[in-house]
Amino acid sequence: MRKLILIKPLKIQSMEARHFNVLKVIQPKGEFFIGTIPAQDLVDITYSDIRRINNEDREVEKYLGIQRPLDKARVLKIKKYIQSPDASFPTGIVLSVDPKCAEYDPEKSVLTLKEFKSEFDDDPNVSLHKIAKVLDGQHRIAAFMNSQGNYDFTLDIKDFELNVVVFIGLDIDEQANIFATINLAQTKVNRSLVYDLEGLSKIRNPFRTGHKVAVALDTADESSPLYHRIKRLGVKTEGRESSEPLTQAVFVESLLKLISPDPFEDRTTALKGKSLKRADINELKKHPFRNLFIDGKDSEIAVILYNYFKSIEERWPTSWNDQNTVGNILPKSNAFKAFMRFLKHLYLEIAGNDIGRIVSKSEFAKHFSTYDIKDEEFTSGNFLPGSGGESSFYKVLTKQKTIAELKA
């Protein structure tokens, strides 16, 4: 087993030492430490500049021959999340620290991290932003930073500690091995499962509404056009004979666009015990089911979707109910997502100024009766897989193009 060697810093300049209570862990890989660090301290001892994280200090990634730039959109989502009342990061942030910057007191179980400055001017420095290299958790740390790369004191949070795993003295190949194990080999959480767990939530929010509507259309009534078509957990439901062409994630994420401009913000507002402001006409034109959600009328949202997809089923019954023919795209995700995009357009056209009313099946059916598309034309040959096929399908629904024009 590789032994940990700690060297006391030769000279300390400008940075106040940080002391952390830790547990020492011994595993085949060697020794490491587990502890908690306040978010502000973590920002200070890791990279101090988001641009540097993104462009320069990517030694491990370069070693592995990959590139993973900082995802700014992901950082913004986490920044919103950490300000919600239920914010939590149970998994540890993994750091690699140069041994010249670390000192462990085994009697007190205290790890001290300090800035190191060589006494020799020509010796490379281990400066403040290089004390701790982030092997996993860079987006979480960046969420606590402002645009200058310092701790963001404008965040609406009080105390926020983060649990960390600290390796000391790792060579670059060892760092790369840990990085790859964590980031390249892990299985991502199934989004459908995440949405299904919203059914246990006591707080009303758009994700919970999306889940409830999905379950209602999938299970409540055998006459539902989406009956037993949704994989609740993202994988085939045990005991069902149907192929379940849709996942709950596809369903919920499509519906959320009709409900909320920012589902995570709505969830945070609910967790804080605050009420959502009802939408005006301009917002309803972007999210027509907004006030139905705010008013707690999830069942009415479900009825609108039932009527909409029932009219589609009755207009093209052969293709809609044929889940086995290879190339038939009408029951599949691409067609569903295009139909959900078109629903906003058609619903607003039919509802007029009475946004929020239940549009009947016959009203939807009247519109779909104007199409001359035949069942056998809903093929992967006409609508290619992927986002391109979804876009083409949407253009046909909005009558921007005919199938013949798509082929041309």
Report the distance separating Cα 347 and Cα 358, nearest Å: 9
pLDDT score of 64: 53
DSSP 370: T
* Helix, strand and coil percent figures for the chain, each rounded to 5: 45, 15, 45
Strand 18-27 vs strand 110-113: parallel, antiparallel, or unpaired?
antiparallel
Beta strand spans in 42-172 (E) = 93-97, 102-105, 110-113, 132-136, 161-168
The per-residue DSSP string of 229-280 comes to -EETTSSPPTT--S---EEHHHHHHHHHHHH-S-HHHHHHHHHTTPPPPPP-
Instruction: State which amino acid sits at residue 339.
Output: F
Share of the chain above pLDDT 90, in %: 48
| Mean of pLDDT values over 208-229 | 94
Q: At residue 134, does pLDDT exceed 80?
A: yes
> Which SS3 state, helix, strand or coil, does residue 27 take?
strand
**Domain spans in the chain, listed from the N-terminal domain onward:** 18-183, 191-407
Tell me what pLDDT residue 117 has.
Answer: 67
pLDDT number for residue 65:
53
Q: What is the pLDDT of residues 14-32, one digit of tens each?
A: 457 888 899 999 988 789 9
Count of beta carbons in the 10 Å neighbourhood of residue 77: 14
Q: Confirm if 292 and 326 have CB atoms less than 8 A apart.
A: no
Rounded Cα gap, residues 216 and 25, in angstroms: 48
On average, the pLDDT of the chain sits at 85
Residue in 281, 392, 295, 289 with CA at minimum distance from that of residue 335: 392
Structure tokens given for 97: 């620290």
pLDDT of residue 131: 79
Q: 295: part of which helix (H) or strand (E)?
A: none
Summarize pLDDT for 264-274 with one digit per residue, the tens.
899 889 988 89
Report how far residue 184's alpha carbon sits from residue 176's, in angstroms, rounded to the nearest whole number.
11
Instruction: State residue 185's pLDDT score.
Output: 59
Residue 12 has pLDDT above 70, yes or no: no
Read off the pLDDT of each residue in 62-82 and give the average, rounded to a whole number: 77
Task: Name the 3-class secondary structure at 19.
Answer: strand
The token duo for 34 is: 């587990």
How many CB atoms are located within 10 Å of the residue 219 CB? 15
Q: So what's the pLDDT on residue 58?
A: 60
What is the C-alpha separation between 5 and 102, in angstroms, rounded? Answer: 10
- Across the range 343-358, mean pLDDT stands at 96
Token pair of 230 as six digits? 């949704």
Please give the helix or strand (H or E) that residue 34 lies within, else none. Answer: strand 30-38
53 has pLDDT over 60 = no
207, 211, 213, 217: CA torsion to nearest 10: 150
Element (H, E) at 292: helix 290-294
User: Which of residues 384 and 108 earns the better pLDDT score?
Assistant: 108
For residue 85, give both structure tokens. Answer: 């009342």
Point out the least confidently predicted range of 19-28, 30-39, 128-137: 128-137
Residue 129 has pLDDT above 50, yes or no: no
Contact between residue 111 and residue 20 where contact means Cβ atoms under 8 Å apart: yes
> Using 50, 70 and 90 to split pLDDT, how confident is the model at 54?
low
Buried b (16+ CB within 10 A) or exposed e, 356-376: beebebebbbebbeeeebebe
